[in-house]
Chain A
Amino acid sequence: MLKVENINVYYGQIHAIKDVSFEVKPGEIVSLIGANGAGKSTILKTISGLLRSKTGHITFKGEDISKTEAYKLVPKGLAHVPEGRRIFLQMTVKENLEMGAYTKGEDMEKDIESVYSHFPRLKERQNQIAGTLSGGEQQMLAMGRAMMSHPDLLILDEPSMGLAPILVQGIFDIIKEFHKMGTTILLVEQNAEMALSIADRAYVLESGRIVLTGTGAELKASDAIKKAYLGGA
């Protein structure tokens, strides 16, 4: 589905991503975990065309997308829920969902209903300005908005950020639902515990480099991971 080969990303002089390669196979849930500033979001932004790598290739469904402009990736089947949700705060809930279907056009009402079936709360608030939603509702809206384009690959950047534990569980349940519907998922999380429980495979990132990889269960059992990310021995 997605193949990232040997990318190097710079912010000015800062070498943020160093020789990173990884792969997401169709139907998988893959997690990237790592501390704040390890470069997780940078990798995702590079995949979706908001940043450029100096080297290497990014291949999506067999097509090289390293130089493709961000807005052209949505119709190819890639949707990215950015860090901090980035919903359109001054637009209504429904308008936000419409923007998610910007490149699709047809069956919009049906798709909106389908998003509402996953998130009944959004239906209650469909005509409300998105800025008035709570954090959890905003995350639901960001995810629903991304699903409006029927992506093959859904990229999620810190979906649990700033949410109460009970809401985090709800968000991860929804990720599983989307996965069951046939969506491949690339997940970035600081909440390593959750991210590893849900993942088929995971990569651990440290200072812009991948330092460890394995199945979710393997990594969860590894001492190094326990120590660094799971809060204890």
Chain B
Amino acid sequence: MSFLSNFISGLSLGSIYALIALGYTMVYGIAKMLNFAHGDVIMVGAFTVIVVVNSLGLPGVVGILASVLICVLMGVTIERIAYKPLRSSPPLSVLITAIGVSYFLQSLALLIFGSTQKSFPKVFTVAPVHLGELTIKGESIETLAVTTVIMVGLTLFINKTKMGKAMRAVSEDREAAELMGISVNRTITVTFAIGSALAAVAGLFFGATYGFIGPYSGAMPGIKAFVAAVFGGIGSIPGAMLGGILLGIIENLAKAYISTELSDAIVFGVLVLVLLVKPTGLLGKKINEKV
């Protein structure tokens, strides 16, 4: 494969990471917690598509819609049951709860689907594009197209809509937002809903790219996306997009030119380097000290 086609598959993988990283970063920015169960939402989303399309024989579109719906419901329910009661607890309690939720989802999937990976259905097929020597895979094209639309849409939502502005207000100063009449709880619910919907979409592309899904399939992309969010500056939405895309490109180029086995080590090594030089991440802002 040429450099360019490696680069494009990296871009496509990176936009999947970016979708997941957006969920991490938004939840961190608004609810001030690290939702380590976020990666497993991807797995649940992908399994939903498998059940709806492979087992029930329904069309791919139904599978996608069902996956988004189930992930949103699940994300909001997890927040309500597991995290909301801990709203004023120390951050460590919330973090440990999130890890518990992650194990719970993995074990639940193991119980229902068993440990063998299931093959992911071809939900939609886009023909590969040939440009001279260069071949771009259909999955890459659809991933890039859809994630671009989602990222533009999300940026507009956050910057232009009333709810989006309220989310920024809550993220900056929860108490002051409450004094404006903004319901912090409702804002957090909406954040979890959006993050989970993005994870469902990421699950779809992840399944389409790798072809197989098992109970632990969400763990690694989840951790990579977390790295991407920190890399870009946790809490920053453009940071999550940039961090995700860069991470995907670095990972793919490392696989192609250095070593497949070492690619993850290289990815995490880059994170360590960036944090040494810029501890707030690429686009992270310094926390404003209150005067």
Binding site for B on A (CB under 8 A): 48-50, 69-75, 79-80, 82, 84, 86-91, 95, 98-100, 102-103, 131, 145, 149, 162
Asked if B5 is an interface residue, CB under 8 A from chain A, the answer is no
* A89 vs B181: C-alpha distance when bound (angstroms): 18
* A113 vs B242: C-alpha distance when bound (angstroms): 38
Query: Within 8 Å CB of A103, what residues of B?
Result: 180-181
How many chain B residues touch A (CB < 8 A): the figure is 21
* A131 vs B173: C-alpha distance when bound (angstroms): 13
- For the complex with contacts A71-B181, A86-B175, A103-B181, 13 further pairs of A-B residues with Cβ separation under 8 Å are A70-B175, A71-B180, A71-B182, A72-B181, A74-B180, A86-B173, A89-B172, A91-B165, A98-B165, A99-B165, A99-B180, A99-B182, A102-B180
Closest Cβ neighbor of B184 among chain A residues? A71
B280 CB to closest chain A CB, in angstroms? 14
B175 touches A102 (CB 8 A): no
| B:145-185 near A, CB below 8 Å | 162, 165-166, 168-169, 172-173, 175-184
Asked if B290 is an interface residue, CB under 8 A from chain A, the answer is yes
* A95 vs B161: C-alpha distance when bound (angstroms): 11
Query: Within 8 Å CB of A89, what residues of B?
Result: 172, 288
Query: Within 8 Å CB of A98, what residues of B?
Result: 162, 165
Query: Within 8 Å CB of A99, what residues of B?
Result: 165-166, 169, 177, 180, 182
Query: Within 8 Å CB of A48, what residues of B?
Result: 179
Closest Cβ neighbor of A103 among chain B residues? B181
Asked if B291 is an interface residue, CB under 8 A from chain A, the answer is yes
B178 touches A71 (CB 8 A): yes
Known contacts: A100-B180, A102-B181, A103-B181. The answer to whether A91 contacts B175 by CB under 8 A is no
Closest Cβ neighbor of A72 among chain B residues? B181
A129 CB to closest chain B CB, in angstroms? 11
* A118 vs B222: C-alpha distance when bound (angstroms): 50
Closest Cβ neighbor of B172 among chain A residues? A88
A-B pairs with beta carbons under 8 Å apart, 10 shown = A50-B175, A71-B182, A73-B181, A74-B179, A86-B179, A98-B165, A99-B177, A102-B182, A131-B288, A162-B291
Closest Cβ neighbor of B168 among chain A residues? A91
Query: Within 8 Å CB of A149, what residues of B?
Result: 180-181
Query: Within 8 Å CB of A87, what residues of B?
Result: 176
A145 touches B180 (CB 8 A): yes
A84 touches B290 (CB 8 A): yes
Query: Within 8 Å CB of B162, what residues of A?
Result: 98, 102
Most chain A CB inside 10 Å of its own CB: which residue of B166, B169, B179, B183: B179
